[in-house]
């Protein structure tokens, strides 16, 4: 019998996680609990700041017995758990502990795709991976001037999960030479060229409201808009509406979409008569844009 | 043979084969692996499922096959 069970023979064990995305802390606690033989039903995991189970007794972390057996987990489970713990689902700690507990008896549990817990951890990992990917694509920096006269690029982003710290490495490598800050409702990151600092949660008003360069970008996006290639379903799949409010260029989408629909309505009407000049113009444009002609002109340019 | 069951695709069959190495599947396990259990149900036997009367129904095709639909020829 271990110390933990001796302490609380039938009560719940409450584990409070100080950080919502701290895998190492979860690992330490989960290892101690498995070694203590505490089944998943008796453990309640709560995040810092959240209210715990009503009837649970707050239990301290027991020191694991030295003679306790090793806790086994496959490398694949550790990789999945590192990613899944970033999810915003409040039950993720319990799910991971349940999986770890079951892995002790069935080491090949993760190979069973029909298992409810295995499927759930796969969903969490996919959702976190997608959110990280979208954050890399949709963070929009705006220039601000610091008190010392230097430029700092500040972005406001609302991630779905606790991915800010996990994604920091990407932004440090990508924008190593710039000073930047990423503000989110869950926390903020500040890079000054050498040191990455973490800050408290921020609000949208803390980020600058606009940037002169955004007008250029908007004009660029308006000019490359090709109505013949408008695929609304594909666009919404890759760029869901929940990200739109923090991206300056998305303000253009409804307008160009409407213009496209108006244009299509005009074109689908039967053509009554066509002027000679119109026909000539269309023929000229066809000639100009044939691939062969384009290739020829490209060759002549290189030859010259 | 599993690939010939209507409603089981390549991914679902791969998952079913992988899961069968660990245990006998129940109907809700199969439901988790497939898109629509209603289409698969008449053609499989699971640990807690046997399609007794469903398979012999005369209108089975009407129940399961997707309705045919005339597409619009001049759709914009």
For A253-279, how does the pLDDT look when each residue is reduced to its tens digit (9 = 90+)?
888 888 888 877 665 555 454 444 444
Structural domain harbouring A250: 215-265
Taking the CA of residue A111 and the nearest CA in chain B, the distance in Å comes to 7
Instruction: Flag whether A279 is in a domain.
Output: no
- Domain termination residue (choose one: A112, A131, A150): A131
The verdict on A37 and A92 lying in the same domain is yes
The verdict on A50 and A102 lying in the same domain is yes
CA distances from B1 to B6, B17, B39, B44 (A): 11, 11, 16, 11
Count CB pairs under 8 A between chains A and B. Answer: 28
CB contact under 8 A, B18 and A108: no
The residue that leads in pLDDT, B59 or A163, is A163
CB contact under 8 A, B32 and A108: no
Do the beta carbons of residue A262 and residue A255 sit within 8 Å? Answer: no
pLDDT (average), residues A170-176: 94
Instruction: Determine the residue of chain B that is closest to A265 in CA distance.
Output: B76
Which residues are CB-neighbours of A96 under 8 A, at least 6 positions away?
A26, A30, A81, A84, A85, A121
Q: What is the pLDDT of residues A36-77, one digit of tens each?
A: 888 888 888 888 765 544 444 444 555 555 666 788 888 999
pTM, two decimal places = 0.76
Instruction: Flag whether A294 is in a domain.
Output: no
Surface-to-core class of residue A87, CB atoms within 10 Å of its CB (0-12 exposed, 13-18 middle, 19+ buried): buried
The verdict on A59 and A109 lying in the same domain is yes
Distance (Å, whole) CA A113 – CA A119: 6
Do the beta carbons of residue A68 and residue A33 sit within 8 Å? Answer: no
- Domain termination residue (choose one: A155, A172, A206): A206
Instruction: Flag whether A304 is in a domain.
Output: no
Highest mean pLDDT among A33-42, A277-286, B50-59: A33-42
Instruction: Flag whether A110 is in a domain.
Output: yes
The verdict on A160 and A116 lying in the same domain is no
Would you list the DSSP string of A88-117? --TTHHHHHHHHHHHHHH-TTGGG-TT-HH
- Average pLDDT of every residue of chain B: 86
Instruction: Flag whether A295 is in a domain.
Output: no
Residue A181's pLDDT is what? 93
pLDDT band of residue A149 (cuts 50, 70, 90) is confident
CA atoms within 13 A on the CB side of A264: 13
Instruction: Flag whether A277 is in a domain.
Output: no
- Average pLDDT of every residue of chain A: 80
pLDDT band of residue A229 (cuts 50, 70, 90) is confident
pLDDT (average), residues A172-190: 93
| Dihedral pair phi/psi, residue A55, rounded to 5° | -100, 10
Instruction: Flag whether A276 is in a domain.
Output: no
Question: Which helix or strand (DSSP H or E) is residue A145 part of?
Answer: strand A141-145
CA atoms within 13 A on the CB side of B16: 23
Whether B6 shows a pLDDT value over 90: the answer reads no
The verdict on A111 and A222 lying in the same domain is no
The verdict on A68 and A186 lying in the same domain is no
Residue A126's pLDDT is what? 96
Do the beta carbons of residue A246 and residue A274 sit within 8 Å? Answer: no
Whether A209 shows a pLDDT value over 90: the answer reads no
Whether A3 shows a pLDDT value over 60: the answer reads no
The verdict on A55 and A16 lying in the same domain is yes
The verdict on A243 and A153 lying in the same domain is no
CB-closest option in A109, A113, A264 to B18 = A113
Percentage of chain A modeled with pLDDT above 70: 77
| Dihedral pair phi/psi, residue A84, rounded to 5° | -70, -25
Q: Which of A111, A79, A71, A117 is nearest to A98 (CA)?
A: A117
The verdict on A88 and A21 lying in the same domain is yes
Residue A67's pLDDT is what? 66
Whether A211 shows a pLDDT value over 50: the answer reads yes
The residue that leads in pLDDT, A199 or A6, is A199
The verdict on A169 and A255 lying in the same domain is no
Residue A279's pLDDT is what? 45
Instruction: Flag whether A99 is in a domain.
Output: yes
Number of separate domains in chain A: 3
CA distances from A137 to A156, A178, A209, A238, A294 (A): 13, 18, 20, 10, 33
Taking the CA of residue B9 and the nearest CA in chain A, the distance in Å comes to 15
Q: Which of A77, A83, A124 is nearest to A100 (CA)?
A: A77
Residue A167's pLDDT is what? 93
Query: Which three-class secondary structure state does DSSP give residue A234?
Result: helix
- Domain termination residue (choose one: A187, A206, A225): A206
CB contact under 8 A, A114 and B21: no
The verdict on A57 and A23 lying in the same domain is yes
ipTM above 0.90, yes or no: no
């Amino acid at each position: 019998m271990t110390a933990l069970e001796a302490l609380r023979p039938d009560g719940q064990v409450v584990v409070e996680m100080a950080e919502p995305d701290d895998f190492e802390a979860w690992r330490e606690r989960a290892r101690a609990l498995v070694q203590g033989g505490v089944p998943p039903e008796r453990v309640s995991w709560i995040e810092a700041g959240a209210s715990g189970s009503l009837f649970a007794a707050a239990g301290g972390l027991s020191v694991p017995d030295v003679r306790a057996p090793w806790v086994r987990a496959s490398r694949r489970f550790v990789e999945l758990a590192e990613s899944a713990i970033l999810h915003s689902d409040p039950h993720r700690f319990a799910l991971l502990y349940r999986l770890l507990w079951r892995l002790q008896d069935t080491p090949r549990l993760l190979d069973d795709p029909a298992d409810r817990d295995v499927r759930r951890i796969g969903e969490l990992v996919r959702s976190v991976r997608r959110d990280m990917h979208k954050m890399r694509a949709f963070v929009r920096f705006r220039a601000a001037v610091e008190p010392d006269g230097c430029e700092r690029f500040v972005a406001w982003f609302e991630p779905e999960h606790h991915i800010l710290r996990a994604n920091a490495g990407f932004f440090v490598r990508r924008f190593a030479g710039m000073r930047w800050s990423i503000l989110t409702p869950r926390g903020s990151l500040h890079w000054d060229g050498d040191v990455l600092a973490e800050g408290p949660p921020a609000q949208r008003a803390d980020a600058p409201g606009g940037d002169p360069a955004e007008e250029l970008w908007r004009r660029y996006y308006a000019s490359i808009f090709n109505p013949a290639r408008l695929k609304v379903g594909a666009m919404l799949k890759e760029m869901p509406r929940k990200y739109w409010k923090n991206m300056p260029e998305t303000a253009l989408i409804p307008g160009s979409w409407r213009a496209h629909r108006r244009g299509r309505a005009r074109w689908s009407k039967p053509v009554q008569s066509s002027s000679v000049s119109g026909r000539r113009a269309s023929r000229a444009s066809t000639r100009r844009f044939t691939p062969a002609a384009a290739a020829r002109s490209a060759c002549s340019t290189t030859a010259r | 043979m599993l690939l010939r069951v209507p409603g089981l695709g390549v991914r679902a069959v791969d998952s079913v084969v992988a899961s069968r190495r660990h245990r006998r599947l129940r109907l809700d396990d199969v439901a988790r692996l497939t898109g629509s259990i209603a289409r698969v149900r008449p053609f499989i036997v699971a640990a807690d499922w046997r399609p007794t009367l469903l398979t012999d129904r005369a209108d089975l095709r009407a129940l399961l096959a997707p309705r045919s639909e005339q597409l619009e020829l001049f759709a914009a």
